[in-house]
Amino acid sequence: MNRTRAMAWDVDGTLVDSEPLHLRALQSVCDAHGVDITEYGDTPFVGVAIGDVWRLLATRFESKFVQQSGNVEGEFRRAVTRYYLEHSGEVRVLPGARQALEHLSSLGVSLAAVSNSERPIVLANLKTIGVLDLFQVVVSLDDVGQPKPAAEPYLRALAAMAVPAREAWAVEDSVSGARSARAAGLRVLIVGEDEMAQGDQRLNDLRDFQQWWTTTGSQSRPAQHESTQLATTGENE
CATH superfamily label, 6-17+92-217: HAD superfamily/HAD-like (3.40.50.1000)
Summarised one tens digit per residue, pLDDT across range 188-210 is 999 998 888 999 999 999 999 99
| Whether the predicted pLDDT of 228 surpasses 60 | no
Chain-centroid distance of CA 51 in Å reads 15
pLDDT band at 233 (very low <50, low <70, confident <90, very high): very low
Domain ranges in the chain are 6-17+92-217, 19-89
pTM of the predicted protein model: 0.84
User: Alpha helices, DSSP H only, in the chain?
Assistant: 19-32, 50-61, 72-86, 97-106, 119-128, 152-161, 175-183, 209-212
Summarised one tens digit per residue, pLDDT across range 19-60 is 899 989 999 988 888 888 888 776 677 767 888 888 888 877
